[in-house]
């Protein structure tokens, strides 16, 4: 199968070196260096298709024809060929539902739920058995939209929202538009692919984790200082998800309940006890949570459940 030069990279951790002079504008919208351009592509004409599928479309199809033993006439109409017309346009053969579904999301792999087939390491598939937390919501649990922290921190939309791309001047769509206008919205039962209306509102993010679980989420990051490695907490903010404490707070920085902050209540649960130290003592997430590379070269959190991994036996840290 022919592969194109894609904006999608097949590696989990996307190594992309950017000179810092590029400047770090504050989102939204986010920069568009990684993954696909965050817009809707379901009302394209042939020029739109060719904008991404540059290269040689004829050779692409003819290789396919040879591999699959197709005859010339399975794609070319003999009457038109006699007039010297080989094809009228991409959409003569490829289906798109304008305003509803893009051609890619009507592909068999997409309808079967195999997002990774094309989106690679940016996401995980719903049915691959990956880890999704099951603990109760706390002050650090992200929300999809409407974060409760400063200026809306604590949600995806704090950074990913509509606007004008700084680099290209092209419009960027909302998360609702980019997802709904793939066309899965219209699938029977499709809402459950991304939402769980029965979940308590504070846990709405768990439905998103069907594809955006901690393993993929905490591995989306550009290398901003050009040193060839990604240093969690050691990169410029807003070039990904783990480069800076500001990035952590973008998703996790929801509001702190002032009643908790002022109380000396020993009944406060242990995660909350520690997370209050962010507001009260200016602790950073990575002061306690270390991201280490696992055998697959992916960042995972070092065990943060065992007291002794941070507190010396019998003593304070
Ligand atoms: C934003 C860039 C972009 C645009 C615009 C675009 N494509 Fe694609 N297309 C891709 C990428 C990326 C893939 C995945 C290729 C891969 O997995 O190797 C793809 C895959 C495909 C496939 C293979 C689907 C399968 O079953 O695997 C077809 C067919 C296709 N595109 C047709 C079109 C047509 C027709 C248009 C215009 C309506 C179009 N594309 C517009 C980027 C684009
Ligand atoms: C899978 C579908 C498919 C099959 C099978 C196929 N073609 Fe094509 N062919 C295309 C498409 C699509 C184009 C248009 C390419 C473009 O516009 O860039 C094309 C273009 C052409 C052209 C115009 C020149 C070019 O390459 O753009 C010729 C000539 C041609 N085909 C001949 C053939 C012959 C001969 C066969 C049988 C051996 C054949 N095709 C089989 C899809 C196919
Ligand atoms: C004459 C019919 C025809 C036309 C016109 C046509 N295609 Fe295709 N194309 C096919 C067929 C048949 C396949 C193989 C089945 C499939 O994947 O849908 C295919 C496959 C593809 C693939 C996937 C190739 C792979 O490696 O699996 C891409 C990408 C693609 N077409 C893009 C385009 C673009 C872009 C245009 C317009 C410039 C176009 N096609 C025009 C018939 C056509
Ligand atoms: C056959 C390849 C293919 C498969 C499989 C696929 N996608 Fe896509 N997807 C694309 C391409 C190419 C684009 C950009 C052009 C477009 O929207 O069609 C895209 C765009 C998107 C976007 C908007 C991108 C952005 O940056 O905002 C979302 C959301 C999306 N896909 C979701 C999904 C989901 C969910 C699945 C799995 C259920 C899936 N896709 C499976 C190829 C694919
Ligand atoms: C602190 C800001 C920030 C927050 C909050 C944030 N992201 Fe991102 N995200 C980014 C940046 C920056 C990129 C890299 C964009 C680029 O270069 O294209 C990115 C990239 C992505 C990508 C890779 C695909 C793409 O289009 O770039 C996915 C998937 C993604 N984010 C999902 C999420 C989800 C899900 C949430 C909420 C749980 C979220 N993000 C919250 C900043 C953020
Ligand atoms: C491919 C994933 C996907 C599918 C399928 C999907 N949605 Fe969404 N939806 C999103 C995303 C992403 C957002 C924006 C984040 C958010 O606010 O939850 C959103 C937002 C919404 C919102 C606004 C929520 C708010 O709090 O502002 C509603 C309502 C909604 N979707 C309903 C539906 C319904 C009904 C269906 C089925 C017909 C559906 N969605 C299917 C991904 C999806
Ligand atoms: C069925 C899989 C799936 C689910 C569930 C899902 N997404 Fe996505 N999401 C994708 C794909 C695929 C992309 C495109 C990644 C890329 O650019 O290659 C994406 C991209 C994103 C991005 C990056 C910006 C953009 O548009 O590319 C954000 C933010 C995001 N999703 C938020 C959400 C939220 C919030 C939810 C839950 C309401 C959600 N997603 C549920 C598959 C999913
Ligand atoms: C793009 C959004 C996003 C960003 C940015 C982000 N996270 Fe997360 N993180 C999540 C989501 C979603 C979960 C799962 C939360 C849940 O379901 O309760 C999570 C879970 C975690 C967990 C618990 C993991 C487990 O095993 O259960 C830790 C620890 C964590 N994040 C720390 C961080 C730190 C430290 C940073 C900054 C370096 C960071 N996160 C940046 C979205 C993000
Ligand atoms: C002072 C140390 C400390 C700081 C700072 C800290 N954490 Fe934690 N975090 C912990 C400990 C300890 C646990 C586990 C407690 C337990 O299981 O008893 C935890 C648990 C978590 C969990 C799992 C939630 C749960 O209910 O079990 C997430 C998610 C998380 N932290 C994210 C973050 C994020 C994001 C930040 C920055 C806003 C942060 N943490 C800052 C110590 C810290
Ligand atoms: C991921 C590292 C980490 C883990 C695991 C951890 N702690 Fe802590 N804990 C810290 C740090 C750092 C501090 C803050 C020390 C300081 O004040 O500078 C702290 C502070 C505390 C405090 C004082 C809180 C306050 O309000 O000042 C208590 C009590 C505590 N931890 C108990 C525990 C217990 C019990 C466990 C196991 C169930 C545990 N910790 C696990 C890192 C951790």
Integer Cα distance of 148 and 170 in angstroms: 29
Q: Is residue 15 part of a domain?
A: no
Helix, strand, coil share (%) of the chain residues, nearest 5: 35, 5, 60
In this structure, which ligand is nearest to the CA of 275?
9
pTM (predicted TM-score): 0.94
Q: Which residue lies with its CA nearest to atom 37 of ligand 9? A: 285
pLDDT at 23: 52
DSSP 15-44: --B--GGG--PPPSSPP-SSSS-SS--SS-
pLDDT at 21: 42
Residue 79 Cα to ligand 8 middle (Å):
59
pLDDT at 7: 36
Contact 109, 242 (CB under 8 A): no
Q: Is residue 212 part of a domain?
A: yes
Residue 252 Cα to ligand 8 middle (Å):
7
Q: Is residue 75 part of a domain?
A: no
Ligand 6 pocket, 179 CB below 6 A? yes
In angstroms, the Cα distances linking 27 to 146, 151, 161, 168 are: 15, 11, 8, 15
| Tally of structural domains, the chain | 1
Q: Is residue 163 part of a domain?
A: yes
In angstroms, the Cα distances linking 271 to 35, 155, 260, 292 are: 33, 19, 13, 21
pLDDT at 11: 32
Q: Domain of 260?
A: 20-43+96-309
Q: Note the residue count of the chain.
A: 317
Q: Is residue 110 part of a domain?
A: yes
Task: Choose the residue to mutate in 160, 215, 216 for probing ligand 5, maximizing ligand atoms within 8 Å of C-beta.
Answer: 160
pLDDT at 17: 52
Ligand 1 pocket, 103 CB below 6 A? yes
Ligand 9 pocket, 277 CB below 6 A? yes
Count other Cβ atoms within 10 Å, centred on residue 19: 9
pLDDT at 9: 33
Q: Is residue 114 part of a domain?
A: yes
Q: Is residue 79 part of a domain?
A: no
pLDDT at 78: 87
Residue 75, judged by CB atoms within 10 A of its CB (0-12, 13-18, 19+), counts as middle
Q: Is residue 241 part of a domain?
A: yes
Q: What is the full per-residue pLDDT of the chain (317 aa) written as tens digits?
A: 223 323 333 333 444 555 444 555 789 999 998 888 999 999 999 889 988 898 788 899 999 889 988 998 888 888 888 888 888 789 988 999 999 999 999 999 999 999 999 999 999 999 999 999 999 999 999 999 999 999 999 999 999 999 999 888 999 999 999 999 999 988 888 899 999 999 999 999 999 999 999 999 999 999 998 899 999 999 999 999 999 999 999 999 999 988 888 877 778 899 999 999 999 999 999 999 999 999 999 999 998 999 998 998 655 55
């Amino acid at each position: 199968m022919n592969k194109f030069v894609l904006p999608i990279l097949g590696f989990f951790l996307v190594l992309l070196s950017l000179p810092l002079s590029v400047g770090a504008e504050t989102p939204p919208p986010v920069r568009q260096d990684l993954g696909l351009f965050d817009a809707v592509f379901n009302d394209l004409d042939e020029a739109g298709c060719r904008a991404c599928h540059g290269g040689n479309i004829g050779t692409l199809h003819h290789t396919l024809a040879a591999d699959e033993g197709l005859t010339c006439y399975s794609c070319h109409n003999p009457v038109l060929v006699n007039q010297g017309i080989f094809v009228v346009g991409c959409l003569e053969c490829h289906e798109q539902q304008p305003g509803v579904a893009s051609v890619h999301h009507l592909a068999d792999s997409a309808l079967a739920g195999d997002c990774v087939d094309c989106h690679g390491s940016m996401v995980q598939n719903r049915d691959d058995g990956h880890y999704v937390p099951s603990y109760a919501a706390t002050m650090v649990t992200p929300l999809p939209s409407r974060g409760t922290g400063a200026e809306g921190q604590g949600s995806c939309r704090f950074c990913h929202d509509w606007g004008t791309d700084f680099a290209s001047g092209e419009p960027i769509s909302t998360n609702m538009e980019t997802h709904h206008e793939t066309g899965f919205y219209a699938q029977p039962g499709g809402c459950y692919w991304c939402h769980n209306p029965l979940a308590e509102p504070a846990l709405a993010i768990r439905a998103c984790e069907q594809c955006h679980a901690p393993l993929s989420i905490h591995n989306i990051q550009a290398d901003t200082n050009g040193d060839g490695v990604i240093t969690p907490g050691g990169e410029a903010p807003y070039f990904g998800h783990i480069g800076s404490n500001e990035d952590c707070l973008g998703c996790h920085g929801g509001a702190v309940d002032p009643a908790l902050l002022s109380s000396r209540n020993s009944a406060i649960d242990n995660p909350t006890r520690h997370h209050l130290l962010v507001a009260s003592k200016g602790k950073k997430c990575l002061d306690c949570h270390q991201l280490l590379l696992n055998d697959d070269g992916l960042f995972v959190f070092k065990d943060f459940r065992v007291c002794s991994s941070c507190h010396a036996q019998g003593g304070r840290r």
